[in-house]
């Protein structure tokens, strides 16, 4: 029976609130906070609450008014299931690094098919530890359960029966003790079963199926088949998206990029997970701050070399943001990445001689990226030779590295003035020349110049030319 | 209160001789390409050091002086705030293998930050920076970073009539006289200051016509 499938279910009862808490400062986190939802006649009731609220005596399903009386400092916000689903998708993406088959049960549940992972991890214990580790890093409260069918795992989770390491028989025993109220059966069936005195799933499972079917209809038979794993409805496996877009609610208005660095770290962690699961790296990010008046500010962050670690990206983003200012306070922040590249294998060791050149280039790229992030892309450049007769067009300074050589046959100065300076020849002594540089008539900036090397009063050798009866200084030789 | 001697040391009038006993291995020196200069500097440009080149005016031969060192360098070099646009075809004509990285930054603090990052990365061959009479603290800091990461730095700056003490390893003063570049050594690791001597940098410049009698 070892071929049997095993399902784990992760229930995050307060996912949206936990996500918001993770972004808060320690002190704010200790304040009682709840998320409330409108529930028809009962008015607004508490849906999610943090430990501080629990300590104050607040419970789930309690009217908001009562909760306010119990904790006068209570912070209450709206619960939004669609937003929680977005957070759930993010969670699925985060866990996708470890588990390939994840099905979403919105708004707060994830189902994992783990039997196939046994060979990879050797033991469920290791996988469990890894999941615990990841979830603890996110600061999410959760229940992780195992079942022989998806439904069984979900029932355990609903009942709060945490723990995944157990044998099949232990699971059956546990299942028998589950109260009908936690069975995930429709409310009507629950009531009818309770009226008959069937209080636990164990009692239900003992009854002959044919009679149950005759009495309660086909729905309950389907339920039992699903619970036992005889019937397995197809699962919609989570497909990770091809581009990265994550948005984060800041809860309070933030007026500078500096204050955004902490929430950004979380988004970049997400991005790292996204890249890690695909073995990609990224060279460009778009940071987007959303303001109250629905306007947004975008900052494009480019890296000189492909990155994927949160630490590296954070460092460069931080340097780059020091040059920018937010026009108005931001309510939300987003990170987008659209173009990716496959990673190149890198060796840790520097011993391999033939590759040293490549490593040096890599380090140089890293330096360039760092300088450009802080000083701006145009602050540091390297030249490329261009095939053009006009001296000022014979080179192009670009913010990328180049290793190209330039043609070296012509006598040219070491320096070029950005614009030729008009001079009077009295102060100069012509020594060598002329060299006529003439461009074709179809060029927009036609050039017809006679170049000389001349020495000035300080004995400096300059590159001067005559054009239309006027002398100009264009470069220096030393 | 500082000892009166400290003031003299600060002004550069009093020197402490403890570094003279230090033995430097030949491989610590990089050939400057000029035998006369090598001899005076104890073997060439010392690595892990900041060297100062004081010039009366820009373009009077400081680049020609550095050219042999730059040409011999395999790694790319960084030029910080040069007085004009470096001209790659001209540099290539002088057999430079790779175009320099050209960094232009108006804020002196950011420029220094950039130099420091470049030195720490240890990926560059030589850093040449054109700075306007940097403060003693700045030079000391650069010297420390250069020494720690074994990097070679040249600071090109204006002539200074009175010499306050700075942490440069070598301080050279360049001037053009009698149709050749004169180099005076104001400070060096290997010994006393030396009077000006001619350096044949013209071999890295276009040929000059002899002045007619």
Across the range A281-289, mean pLDDT stands at 87
State the pLDDT at residue B50: 94
Q: How confident is the model at residue A1 (pLDDT cuts 50, 70, 90)?
A: very low
CB A262, CB A23: distance < 8 Å: yes
State the pLDDT at residue B213: 35
State the pLDDT at residue B190: 66
Higher pLDDT, A176 or B21: A176
What is the C-alpha separation between A284 and A301, in angstroms, rounded? 6
What is the C-alpha separation between A387 and A348, in angstroms, rounded? 40
Higher pLDDT, B200 or B22: B200
Across the range A291-309, mean pLDDT stands at 84
CB B90, CB B206: distance < 8 Å: no
pLDDT of A122 > 80? The answer is no
CB A37, CB A44: distance < 8 Å: yes
Element (DSSP H or E) covering residue A271: helix A257-278
pLDDT of A213 > 50? The answer is yes
pLDDT tens, B23-77? 667 778 899 999 999 988 888 899 999 999 999 889 988 999 999 999 998 888 9
pLDDT tens, B76-123? 899 999 999 999 999 999 888 889 999 999 999 999 999 999 999 888
Is the pTM higher than 0.80? The answer reads: no
Question: Rounded to the nearest 10 degrees, what angle do helices A150-158 and A218-228 cross at?
Answer: 90
CB A8, CB A50: distance < 8 Å: no
Across the range A69-82, mean pLDDT stands at 88
For an interface test with A, the pick among B68, B89, B151, B179 (most A C-beta atoms closer than 10 Å) comes out as: B89
Q: How far is B21 from chain A (nearest CA, A)?
A: 36
CB A465, CB A417: distance < 8 Å: no
- Neighbouring C-beta atoms of residue A101, cutoff 10 Å: 16
Q: Where are the beta strands (DSSP E) in A39-108?
A: 44-49, 75-78, 102-105
Does A367 reach chain B within 8 Å, measured CB to CB?
yes
Q: Which CATH superfamily is domain B32-204 in?
A: P-loop containing nucleotide triphosphate hydrolases (3.40.50.300)
pLDDT tens, A143-176? 999 888 889 889 988 888 887 767 888 888 888 8
CB A416, CB B84: distance < 8 Å: yes
Predicted interface score ipTM higher than 0.95: no
Cβ-based neighbours of A253, under 8 Å, separated by 6 or more: A292, A329, A330, A331
What is the C-alpha separation between B151 and B62, in angstroms, rounded? 20
Q: How confident is the model at residue B128 (pLDDT cuts 50, 70, 90)?
A: very high
Q: Are strands A415-423 and A470-476 parallel, antiparallel or unpaired?
A: antiparallel
Q: How confident is the model at residue A352 (pLDDT cuts 50, 70, 90)?
A: very low
State the pLDDT at residue B21: 44
State the pLDDT at residue B14: 75
Higher pLDDT, B12 or A212: A212
**Smallest Cβ distance to B63: which of A381, A408, A478?**
A478
State the pLDDT at residue B131: 92
> Which residues 418-457 of A are in CB contact (within 8 Å) with B?
418, 431-432, 453, 455
What is the C-alpha separation between B9 and B21, in angstroms, rounded? 19
State the pLDDT at residue B118: 93
B121 and A366 within 8 Å at the Cβ level: the answer is: yes
CB A9, CB A111: distance < 8 Å: yes
State the pLDDT at residue B63: 92
Lowest mean pLDDT among A218-232, A280-294, A439-453: A439-453
Cβ-based neighbours of B8, under 8 Å, separated by 6 or more: B14
pLDDT, chain A, mean: 84
What is the C-alpha separation between B37 and A392, in angstroms, rounded? 35
Q: Minimal Cα distance from A452: which residue of B? A: B206
> Which residues 24-53 of B are in CB contact (within 8 Å) with A?
none
Q: Minimal Cα distance from B63: which residue of A? A: A478
């Amino acid at each position: 029976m070892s071929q049997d499938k095993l399902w784990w279910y992760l229930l995050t009862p307060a996912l949206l609130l936990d996500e918001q808490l993770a972004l808060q400062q320690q002190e704010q986190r200790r304040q009682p906070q709840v998320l409330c939802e409108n529930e028809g006649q009962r008015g607004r009731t508490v849906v999610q609450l943090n430990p501080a609220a629990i300590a104050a005596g607040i419970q789930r399903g309690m009217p908001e008014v009562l909760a306010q009386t119990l904790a006068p400092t209570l912070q209450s916000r709206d619960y939004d299931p669609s937003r929680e689903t977005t957070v759930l998708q993010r969670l699925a993406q985060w866990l996708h690094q470890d588990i390939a088959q994840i099905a979403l049960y919105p708004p707060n549940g994830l189902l994992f098919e783990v039997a196939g992972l046994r060979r990879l991890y050797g033991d469920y214990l290791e996988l469990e530890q890894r999941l615990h580790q990841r979830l603890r890093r996110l600061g999410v409260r959760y229940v992780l359960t195992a079942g022989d069918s998806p439904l069984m795992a979900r029932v355990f989770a609903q009942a709060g029966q945490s723990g995944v390491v157990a044998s099949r028989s232990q699971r059956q025993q546990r299942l028998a003790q589950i109260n009908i109220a936690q069975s995930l059966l429709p409310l009507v069936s629950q009531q009818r079963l309770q009226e008959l005195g069937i209080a636990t799933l164990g009692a239900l499972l003992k009854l002959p199926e044919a009679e149950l079917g005759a009495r309660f209809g086909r729905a309950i038979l389907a339920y039992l088949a699903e619970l036992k794993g005889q019937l397995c409805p197809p699962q919609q496996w989570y497909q990770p998206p091809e581009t990265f877009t994550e948005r984060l609610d800041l809860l309070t208005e933030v007026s500078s990029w500096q204050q955004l660095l902490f929430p950004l770290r979380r988004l970049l962690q997400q991005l790292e997970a996204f890249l890690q699961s695909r073995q990609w790296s990224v060279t460009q990010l778009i940071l987007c701050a959303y303001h109250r008046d629905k306007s947004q500010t975008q900052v494009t962050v480019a890296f000189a070399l492909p990155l994927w670690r949160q630490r590296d990206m954070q460092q460069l983003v931080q340097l780059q943001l020091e040059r920018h200012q937010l026009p108005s306070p931001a309510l939300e922040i987003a990170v987008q990445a659209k173009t990716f590249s496959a990673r190149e294998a890198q060796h840790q060791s520097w011993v391999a001689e033939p590759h040293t050149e490549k490593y040096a280039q890599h380090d140089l790229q890293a330096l360039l990226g760092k300088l450009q992030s802080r000083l701006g892309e145009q602050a540091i450049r390297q030249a490329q030779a261009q095939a053009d007769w006009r001296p000022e067009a014979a080179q192009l300074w670009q913010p990328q590295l180049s290793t190209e050589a330039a043609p070296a046959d012509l006598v040219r100065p070491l320096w070029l003035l950005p614009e030729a300076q008009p001079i009077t020849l009295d102060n100069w002594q012509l020594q060598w020349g002329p060299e006529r540089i003439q461009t074709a008539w179809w060029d927009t900036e036609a050039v017809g110049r006679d170049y000389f090397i001349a020495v000035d009063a300080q004995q400096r050798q300059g590159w001067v030319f005559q054009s239309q009866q006027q002398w100009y200084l264009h470069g220096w030789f030393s | 209160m500082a000892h009166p001697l400290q003031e003299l040391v600060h002004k550069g009038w009093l020197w402490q001789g403890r570094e003279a006993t230090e033995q430097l291995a030949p491989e610590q020196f990089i050939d400057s390409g000029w035998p006369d200069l090598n001899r005076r500097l104890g073997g060439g440009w010392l690595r892990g050091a900041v060297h100062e080149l004081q010039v009366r005016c820009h373009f009077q031969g400081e680049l020609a002086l550095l050219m042999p060192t730059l040409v011999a360098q395999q790694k790319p070099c960084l030029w910080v705030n040069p007085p004009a646009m470096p001209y790659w075809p001209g540099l290539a004509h002088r057999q430079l293998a790779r175009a320099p990285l050209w960094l232009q930054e108006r804020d002196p603090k950011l420029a220094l930050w950039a130099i420091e990052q470049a030195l720490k990365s240890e990926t560059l061959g030589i850093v040449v920076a054109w700075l306007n009479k940097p403060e003693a603290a700045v030079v000391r800091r650069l010297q420390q970073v250069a020494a720690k990461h074994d990097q070679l730095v040249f600071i090109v700056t204006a002539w200074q009539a009175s010499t306050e003490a700075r942490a440069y390893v070598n301080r050279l003063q360049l001037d053009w006289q009698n149709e050749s570049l004169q180099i005076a050594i104001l400070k060096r690791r290997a010994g006393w200051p030396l009077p000006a001597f001619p350096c044949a940098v013209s071999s890295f410049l276009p040929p000059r016509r002899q002045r007619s009698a």
